[in-house]
């Protein structure tokens, strides 16, 4: 599956665009049957449409696919959401826990934590994990806030600003260091429980994020019932401390794939009228060497009048894209290889999968320079 086909899946699962029709989403899943994030997003849509039976099955499918792809935390979150609809049978829970233990997963805080726990202990933690979503630009935690919660990053990217006190001429000043947190990472300094700590950093969302949150007092109660859970927490914080020491440069690189919105102008040449182009504005991001996904501006009359007829008009059409950047303009040719009705900023519009054509190595390099120039 090439990169431009994957782009629409990435943009839907990251919340950049949305599909509000169950039937349209089912057609999309036929194109991407093994994408766990799409199944997870589809499950959320089924809940929104009050279809609990279908949602439960879909969350289960997402969990299976996440496990196969080695994404332990995301699989557990899908199971939590499934079990919130219908409590699992003893057999179903045991099968899931067996799959957790038998799978080969990359080292991560969640893996280190749960490797120490028995099945009842894992279940106790899962049942008390709240799943929360936050938009870009949201402050999750401020400097000097009380440390009352443990967070795992399920998806998205956050910026952590660490404040280190320095003495200068008898005055305390703070040196700031910036890091990125991404999926499978953890934050929240709550252990040991008897120590009352305040945050030495602030944490702000860069993109739409999903987190699991477990309050300190809840974990303390679980540890009183299951003392071994404390061993899991100790292992988690030891792992996180070693990771922070050994991988400072890797942490700074996290989040390098920000969700960049890049405005462009398109000249579309339908096969029925190749000499008279349709001029539209659109938004693109995650540009790859093979192509890009562009979401059309819904305010354009061609789109807002009739999505269905416009979809037929531009199918397989040639297209020229103009990328403006600091007074310059780069033009790239391509071909529309698929279309998909979507919602963008609450408006119905169309996403186009565009395959680049006649892209020389020099032009390819210039394209990526233009794309990078939009980063902050």
- Which one is predicted more confidently, 248 or 272? 272
pLDDT tops 60 at residue 74: yes
Share of the chain above pLDDT 70, in %: 78
For residue 250, the model assigns a pLDDT of 42
Instruction: Residue 364: count other Cβ atoms within 10 Å of its Cβ.
Output: 13
Place of tokens 């289960």: 60
Domain ranges of the chain: 17-104, 130-253, 262-372
Q: Angle formed by the axes of helices 52-68 and 72-85, to 10°? A: 160
More confident residue, 240 or 88: 88
> 54-58, 75-79, 317-321: which range is least confident on average?
317-321
Distance CA 100, CA 98 (A): 5
Long-range contacts of range 89-98, CB-CB < 8 Å, 24 or more positions apart?
93/119, 93/123, 94/119, 96/63, 97/122, 97/123
Q: Which CATH architecture has domain 130-253?
A: Sandwich (2.60)
At the topology level of CATH, where does 17-104 sit?
Answer: 1.25.40
Q: By the 8 A CB rule, do 205 and 143 touch?
A: no
pLDDT for 336 beyond 90: no
Give the model's pLDDT for residue 277. Answer: 82
Q: pLDDT of 36-48, one tens digit each?
A: 999 999 999 999 9
Give the pLDDT confidence of 158-186 residue by residue, as tens digits. Answer: 999 988 888 777 787 778 888 888 888 99
As a whole number of angstroms, the distance between CA 4 and CA 356 comes to 10
The more confident residue out of 247 and 269 is 269
Tokens of 147: 């440390």
Average pLDDT, the chain: 81
Give the pLDDT score at 226.
96
Q: Of 63-72, 148-157, 196-205, 331-340, give the lowest mean pLDDT range.
A: 331-340
pLDDT digits (tens, 9 = 90+) for 100-134: 888 778 888 898 999 999 999 999 999 999 999 99
If you average pLDDT over residues 67-91, what whole number do you get?
Answer: 93
CA 173 to chain centre: 36
262-372 CATH choice from 2.60.120.10, 3.55.40.20, 3.40.50.2000, 2.40.10.220: 2.40.10.220
Residue 325: predicted pLDDT: 58
Reported in sequence order, the residue ranges of the chain that DSSP labels E, i.e. its strands, are 130-134, 139-141, 149-155, 158-168, 171-181, 186-187, 201-205, 209-215, 262-269, 278-285, 291-296, 318-325, 328-344, 347-356
What 3-state class would DSSP assign to 163? strand
The whole-angstrom separation of Cα 314 and Cα 336 is 7
């Amino acid at each position: 599956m090439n990169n431009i086909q994957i782009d629409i899946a990435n943009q839907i699962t990251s919340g950049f665009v949305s599909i509000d029709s169950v039937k349209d989403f089912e057609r999309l899943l036929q194109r991407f049957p093994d994408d766990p994030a799409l199944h997870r997003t589809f499950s959320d849509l089924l809940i929104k449409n009050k279809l609990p039976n279908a949602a439960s099955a879909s969350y289960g499918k997402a969990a299976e696919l996440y496990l196969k792809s080695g994404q332990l935390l995301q699989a557990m979150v899908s199971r939590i959401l499934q079990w919130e609809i219908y409590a699992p049978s003893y057999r179903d829970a045991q099968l899931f826990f067996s799959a957790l233990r038998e799978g080969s997963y990359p080292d991560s805080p969640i893996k280190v934590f749960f490797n120490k726990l028995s099945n009842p202990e894992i279940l106790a933690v899962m049942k008390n994990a709240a799943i929360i979503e936050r938009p870009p630009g949201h402050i999750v935690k401020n400097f000097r806030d009380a440390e009352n919660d443990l967070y795992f990053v399920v998806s998205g990217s956050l910026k952590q600003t660490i404040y280190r006190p320095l003495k200068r001429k008898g005055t305390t000043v703070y040196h700031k260091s910036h890091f990125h947190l991404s999926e499978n990472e953890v934050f929240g300094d709550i252990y040991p429980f008897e120590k009352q700590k305040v945050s030495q950093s602030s944490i702000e969302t860069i993109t739409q994020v999903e987190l699991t949150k477990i309050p300190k007092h809840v974990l303390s109660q679980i540890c009183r019932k299951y003392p071994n859970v404390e061993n899991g927490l100790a292992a988690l914080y030891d792992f996180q401390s070693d990771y922070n020491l050994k991988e400072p440069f890797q942490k700074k690189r996290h989040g390098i794939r920000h969700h960049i919105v890049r405005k462009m102008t398109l000249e579309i040449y339908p096969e029925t009228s190749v000499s008279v182009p349709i001029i539209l504005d659109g938004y693109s991001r995650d540009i790859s060497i093979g192509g890009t996904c562009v979401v059309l501006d819904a305010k354009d009359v061609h789109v807002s009048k009739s999505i269905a007829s416009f979809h037929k008009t531009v199918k397989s059409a040639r297209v020229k894209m103009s990328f403006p950047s600091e007074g310059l303009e780069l033009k790239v040719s391509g071909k529309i290889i698929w279309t998909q009705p979507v919602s963008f900023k609450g408006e119905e519009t169309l996403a186009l999968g565009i395959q680049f054509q006649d892209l020389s190595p020099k032009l390819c390099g210039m394209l990526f320079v233009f794309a990078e120039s939009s980063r902050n």
